[in-house]
Structure 1
Amino acid sequence: MSTLIDNQKKGYLYENFRLFHLKDKSNQEFEYHFHDFDKIIIFLSGTVTYLIEGKAYYLKPWDILLVNHHDIHRPIIDAANTYERIIIWIKPDYIEQQKNNSTDITACFTKAIEKSFNLIRLESDLLQKIQYLISELETALLSEEFGSDLLSNSLFIQFMVYLNRIFLREQYTNDTSFLKYDKQTEEVIRYINQHLSEPLSNQKLAHEFYLSKYYLMHKFKEETGYSIHNYILHKRLLLSVEYLKDGIPVMKAAQLSGFGDYSSFLRSFRKLFHKSPRDFMNSNEMNVSNNNKKLL
């Protein structure tokens, strides 16, 4: 899917999931960006602060971060120390397909959105099982032995089931000393994401939260790295993509996503995704067709 947006959308995922074990020491700086896949980050070493949707997480070894597709995020890395982490990219459609009436392994990502909380920090007894599953999964993914692909999928599902049990039962530390965020900005972000289909403006948000418009604009930019206008625009465009994937007609998708002006929607969509909504729908249908062929 050719939807790369310079300095904003990062990475391609063609597999159902992909695991990276990375260890480096560099002065690389990351800008705020997002993905169209879900991501799990297992922090192993270094000095890193991870910013996700206006919240700063100060990481300790074996902290786990749940980053939803379309979450705006970036790490701040101290280059003086070696940064080691395991990153798992997950295709949302794939884990969606794994759920049944009693089990939904996407629940941890859904819950992270509801709680506006993305971090799992475990005590040693619960951590041991995570470490074992990750080690087994890494080994299976590198193996060329018979059935290693099936074993990898099985271990990945086990890992996701265990992670959901921990997160949904809140079996992680409640210490908030590792977390820094502005409460008002969190409330503004939550309000925006719950009202994307409605008219939103700096003036309306300032009135809603009894703040000076200019103070709100400055504070939001400072906490999220985005202007309010660009944040709302990107979130609406990403929402429109979800509607288009569901087969909703372009004009209806634009309306449901909060665009009152269809020409502005088309212009913004092309600028962000480098293709028209109709071209996007056609390419998405092609991808679905190709995936169905693989299943035959």
Structure 2
Amino acid sequence: MSMVILLKYIAKNINFGYNMQCGENGGARMNMSYVSPFDVRQVMQENDFEIFHRLDRASGSIEPHSHDFFEIFFPRTEGIEYAVEGQRYRLSPGMVVMVPPGETHFTRVSVPGLEVERFILWLDTGFVESLTAMLPRLRNLMKDGLKGRHLIVPDAETYELMIELLFSLLHEKKLNDVDSASLSRLVVAQLLIHMSRVLSSVPGAMNERTGQRYRDVMQVYDYISAHLKEPMTVTSLAEMFFFDKNTLTRKFKHVTGMTPGECIRRKRLDAAYAMITRGAGMAETCRECGFADYSAFYRAFRNAYGVSPSECEKSINNEQ
């Protein structure tokens, strides 16, 4: 039986009524026992995937960051803004945001104290590769097709099916019996297939970008991302792109959530962390990521991650 046929069979036979009711509009209504508290943690603690269902009045603000796994974000209420690589989206229920590994992103709540509901799904890259081994179109999408395509807007029926799949994952997470891991893999694969269908049906750049009015800022952002090895300051960037220094800082922070200086530092540190995980030496990492010397690299890395570069390397080697 092929993977796709198996997934269709399971979709017809899984009981998605796990403590759910249908609302007046036919949509899934939450089970409060699945809701997890607000947490600023951005490191996976499970091997394959983690799922969170959150409903809170927290600030909802996560500082700009990146990580080495996929993040899929499902808003269930208005009032959430999501920024990825300088593109900012004002989200509504029915939208989905997908962030590939290594891309800087953050969330904001438009009204302080507003109660917001959302689902967050984290997927390990190796786990995704194993799921897509028998699904060529999905494999190509996850590997190359997401660049610049973060926003996914399925039709209402598909979106509600996705939410039901998320509730199924939450149920298996809570149940955690001998079959939960296998069933969860199949449910995640089905969810990704639905997302692949939506993306494949919309040609070209289907994102609603922040807008062309911020294209000048995005040029600066793209330049920083592509030239981490080279010396850069806010002053030099302002001169290069014909900005007043203060204007650049103000506009850049509005669009990306960071000042240009913070962006340079964040991008260099993320690149350094990625190189260390791939086994690169400290001297090479320091040089390729644009740090003036090892002491500057050491201080910045320890301040950001709480451990020294060598301690990080040792921890990664112990996990392998």
Range of TM-score over shorter length: 0.7 to 0.9
Residue 74 of structure 1 is matched in structure 2 by 107
1:47 is displaced (CA, Å) by 2.5
Distance change >3 Å, CA 193–CA 104, structure 1 → 2 = farther
Question: In the alignment, is the contact (CA less than 8 A) between 2:153 and 2:198 conserved in 1?
Answer: no
Between the aligned partners of 2:158 and 2:63, the Cα distance in structure 1 is 32
Task: Describe the superposition over 1:99-129 as per-residue Cα deviations: whole angstroms up to 9, x where unpaired.
Answer: 54946648448544x32x4211122354354
1:40 is displaced (CA, Å) by 0.9
Residue 59 of structure 1 is matched in structure 2 by 91
Between the aligned partners of 1:63 and 1:224, the Cα distance in structure 2 is 20
Question: In the alignment, is the contact (CA less than 8 A) between 2:81 and 2:91 conserved in 1?
Answer: yes
Question: In the alignment, is the contact (CA less than 8 A) between 1:111 and 1:168 conserved in 2?
Answer: no
Normalised TM-score (structure 2): 0.74
Question: In the alignment, is the contact (CA less than 8 A) between 2:65 and 2:266 conserved in 1?
Answer: no
Between the aligned partners of 1:217 and 1:234, the Cα distance in structure 2 is 15
Amino acid of the structure 1 residue aligned with 2:251: K
Aligned residue among 22, 28, 35 for 2:59: 28
Residue 123 of structure 2 is matched in structure 1 by 90
2:112 equivalent to 1:43 = no
Aligned residue among 191, 213, 222 for 2:223: 191
Residue 294 of structure 1 is matched in structure 2 by none
The DSSP-based 3-state class of the residue aligned with 2:254 is helix
Aligned residue among 251, 260, 275 for 1:243: 275
Residue 11 of structure 1 is matched in structure 2 by 42
Between the aligned partners of 1:204 and 1:32, the Cα distance in structure 2 is 25
Map 1:26-175 onto structure 2 (within 5 A). 26-36=57-67, 37-70=69-102, 71-78=104-111, 82-96=115-129, 98-100=131-133, 102=136, 105=139, 107-108=141-142, 111-112=145-146, 114-115=147-148, 117-127=149-159, 129-170=161-202, 174=206
Between the aligned partners of 1:223 and 1:263, the Cα distance in structure 2 is 32
1:234 is displaced (CA, Å) by 1.2
Distance change >3 Å, CA 247–CA 106, structure 1 → 2 = farther
Task: Describe the superposition over 1:20-61 as per-residue Cα deviations: whole angstroms up to 9, x where unpaired.
Answer: 12223x252524232524311111123222233333312121
Distance change >3 Å, CA 100–CA 205, structure 1 → 2 = farther
Question: In the alignment, is the contact (CA less than 8 A) between 2:86 and 2:256 conserved in 1?
Answer: yes
1:236 is displaced (CA, Å) by 0.6
Segments of structure 2 that go 5 or more residues without pairing to the other structure are 1-39
Between the aligned partners of 1:140 and 1:27, the Cα distance in structure 2 is 27
In angstroms, what is the RMSD of aligned CA positions? Answer: 3.0
| Bigger mean CA deviation after superposition, 140-149 or 236-245 | 140-149
Segments of structure 1 that go 5 or more residues without pairing to the other structure are 1-8, 289-296
Task: Describe the superposition over 1:261-283 as per-residue Cα deviations: whole angstroms up to 9, x where unpaired.
Answer: 22211121111112111111100
Between the aligned partners of 2:219 and 2:187, the Cα distance in structure 1 is 38
Question: In the alignment, is the contact (CA less than 8 A) between 1:121 and 1:172 conserved in 2?
Answer: no
1:64 is displaced (CA, Å) by 0.5
Aligned length: 276
Aligned residue among 225, 235, 238 for 1:206: 238
Normalised TM-score (structure 1): 0.79
Between the aligned partners of 1:42 and 1:282, the Cα distance in structure 2 is 36
1:12 is displaced (CA, Å) by 3.1
Task: Describe the superposition over 1:171-227 as per-residue Cα deviations: whole angstroms up to 9, x where unpaired.
Answer: 799584x85572211221122112222232224323432333332223212322322
Between the aligned partners of 2:173 and 2:106, the Cα distance in structure 1 is 27
Distance change >3 Å, CA 91–CA 269, structure 1 → 2 = same
Amino acid of the structure 2 residue aligned with 1:10: R
2:301 equivalent to 1:269 = yes
